[in-house]
């Protein structure tokens, strides 16, 4: 079989994965705090038919070798963690991180991390995500599952203020004194790109991301928290459409390589 058939097959597989990645970016253009993903291509192992620098009988070295490539593949998909634009809302529990850091939430699978700050309250008064995962404060950062009390806001609260440092205070209906509920826990990683994506805007720690480093919003390199704002997706629709067209054209050209190889094989069969 012609080597070009296998090479073209690897190229089509790589472009298909690229199309899948771009389509997922476009599908999440309105997802809160979604981070776009880009595919990283690499060439496959080469077959050395004649190694560069081979010593000839004359005593000199060949200036160039003969190496046959074996196609391409997607080596990784890299998440781009640049900040999205902030959009104002009317929900006092909406929060956006201006800078580095993640919110920590308790899930059935352990502590997860997110930048999606569209929070709300559950029947217990806890601040939770849309999926019911409890937002963790500084006093509850180590608790998970049923043990995670998180940040609780009483039912008869008339107003609530979230400071830029993550301090949550509320005022009850029968009092004018502001009560501190807790301070929102902030977490960051040496390599945020190494976090495992779990869907729902959640990420989990891995060996590639490094250990979670806790801190306070606005201190030691952590971003500040803005109440009444949410972070939007960082997907640029125009840029993704250009990438989509380029990937489509690359797929079509690679497919023509298959047709050319097929025609050559037909000619050989007629000899």
- DSSP result, 199-232: ETTEEE--TTT---EEE-TTSTTPPEEEETEEEP
Taking the alpha carbons of 203, 148, 155, 186 in that order, is the dihedral positive or negative?
negative
Mean predicted confidence (pLDDT) in 123-152: 82
Give the number of C-alpha atoms closer than 13 A to the C-alpha of residue 203, restricted to the C-beta side: 29
The C-alpha angle with vertex 217 and arms to 216 and 221, in degrees rounded to 5, equals 90
Q: Is the pLDDT of residue 59 over 70?
A: no
Q: Is the pLDDT of residue 17 over 90?
A: yes
pTM: 0.86
Mean predicted confidence (pLDDT) in 124-140: 91
In the predicted model, what is the mean pLDDT of the chain? 90
Provide the residue ranges of all domains of the chain, joining segments of one domain with +. Answer: 3-81+235-270, 90-231
Instruction: Report the pLDDT value the prediction gives residue 144, as an integer from 0 to 100.
Output: 59
pLDDT confidence band for 265 (50 / 70 / 90)? confident
Question: In this structure, what token pair is assigned to residue 155?
Answer: 């039912």
Residues 234, 67: contact at Cβ < 8 Å?
Answer: no
CA 225 to CA 195: how far, in whole Å? 22
Instruction: Report the pLDDT value the prediction gives residue 147, as an integer from 0 to 100.
Output: 55
Mean predicted confidence (pLDDT) in 95-124: 94
pLDDT confidence band for 55 (50 / 70 / 90)? low
The C-alpha angle with vertex 249 and arms to 244 and 254, in degrees rounded to 5, equals 125
Residue 147 or 179, more confident: 179
Instruction: Report the pLDDT value the prediction gives residue 2, as an integer from 0 to 100.
Output: 72
pLDDT confidence band for 175 (50 / 70 / 90)? confident
Nearest Cα neighbor of 107 from 92, 84, 77, 129 is 129
Per the listing, tokens 């995670």 go with 148
């Amino acid at each position: 079989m012609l080597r070009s058939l296998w090479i073209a097959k690897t190229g089509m597989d790589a472009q298909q994965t690229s199309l899948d990645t771009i389509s997922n970016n476009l599908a999440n253009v309105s997802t809160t705090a979604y981070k776009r993903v880009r595919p990283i291509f690499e060439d496959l192992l080469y077959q050395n038919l004649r190694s560069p620098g081979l010593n000839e009988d004359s005593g000199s070295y060949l200036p160039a070798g003969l190496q046959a490539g074996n196609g391409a593949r997607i080596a990784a998909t890299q998440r781009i963690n640049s900040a999205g634009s902030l959009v104002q809302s009317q929900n006092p529990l909406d929060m956006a991180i201006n800078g580095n850091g993640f919110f920590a939430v308790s899930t059935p699978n352990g502590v997860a991390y997110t930048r999606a700050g569209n929070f709300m309250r559950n029947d217990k008064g806890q601040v939770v995500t849309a999926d019911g995962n409890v937002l963790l404060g500084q006093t509850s950062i180590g608790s998970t599952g049923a043990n995670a009390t998180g940040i609780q806001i009483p039912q008869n609260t008339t107003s609530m203020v979230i400071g830029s440092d993550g301090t949550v205070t509320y005022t009850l209906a029968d009092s004018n004194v502001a009560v501190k509920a807790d301070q929102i826990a902030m977490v960051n990683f040496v390599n945020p790109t190494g976090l495992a994506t779990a869907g729902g805007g959640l990420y989990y720690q891995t060996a590639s991301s490094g250990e979670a480093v806790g801190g306070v919003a606005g201190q030691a390199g952590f971003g500040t928290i803005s109440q009444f704002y949410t972070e939007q997706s960082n997907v640029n629709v125009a840029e993704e459409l250009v990438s989509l067209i380029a990937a489509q054209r690359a797929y079509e050209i690679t497919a023509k390589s298959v047709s050319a190889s097929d025609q050559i094989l037909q000619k050989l069969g007629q000899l």
